[in-house]
Every structure is written in C-alpha cells, then in structure tokens.
Amino acid sequence: MNAQYLSPVSVGLTRCRVCKCTEMRACFPPCYWEPGEPDLCDRCAETIRQVQQWLQVAVRPSFAALKREAMKANAPGHAYGRLRKAAKR
C-alpha cells in the first residue's frame, strides 16, 4: 500500500495532496514541490503555514466559516471579470 502510494512520485505523476495540481497542470502562477514534501506544492504549503498561524492566534477558529468566507470572496471577482469583459465589446 505504501509502495503504491509512493510510486507516482518516481514516474513524475505527482499530484499535490491538497490542491491536486500536477507537473502537467500546475497552479497559477506555476508552483513547485515543497522541499521534503514529495506530494505537496509550495502554494499549499504556504497556505498551510498561514492557517497554522491563524489556528494559534484565533479565539475559536472555524474551518467551515473560513471556507464559507473564502468562497464568498472568490465568487464576486469571477462575476466582475465576466462583466468587464462583456462591457469592452
């Protein structure tokens, strides 16, 4: 089971265990594998470090609320992007 899990790394089919990016389809801007982590990209590693800091300083950190806010912040940006594109025509 362990060998099966590790084999994709050796054949270059590594997939980030957090965001599922691969060497063929990287994050944007392109990410790198975190040193010492065979299946974790540096984009996710940085995010994990920030979340760990947040867990230490927040009074009652809620992942559900964090995700809700993160998704909420993302949605308007995509909508505005479409609107701006449409207005240019």
Q: What does the binding site for Zn ion look like in residue numbers (CB under 5 A)?
A: 16, 18-19, 21, 27, 31, 41, 43-44
Pick the closer one to Zn ion by CB: 36 or 76.
36
Taking the complex as a whole, how short is the minimal distance between the CB of residue 80 and Zn ion, in angstroms? 25
Q: Which is nearer to Zn ion, 11 or 27 (CB)?
A: 27
**Cβ proximity to Zn ion, 18 vs 51, nearer residue:** 18
CB of 8 to Zn ion, least distance (A): 15
Q: Per residue, what are the HEC states of the chain? A: CHHHHHHHHHCCCCECCCCCCECCCCCCCCCCECCCCCCCEHHHHHHHHHHHHHHHHCCCCCHHHHHHHHHHHHHHHHHHHHHHHHHHC
The CB-of-34 to Zn ion minimum distance in angstroms stands at: 9
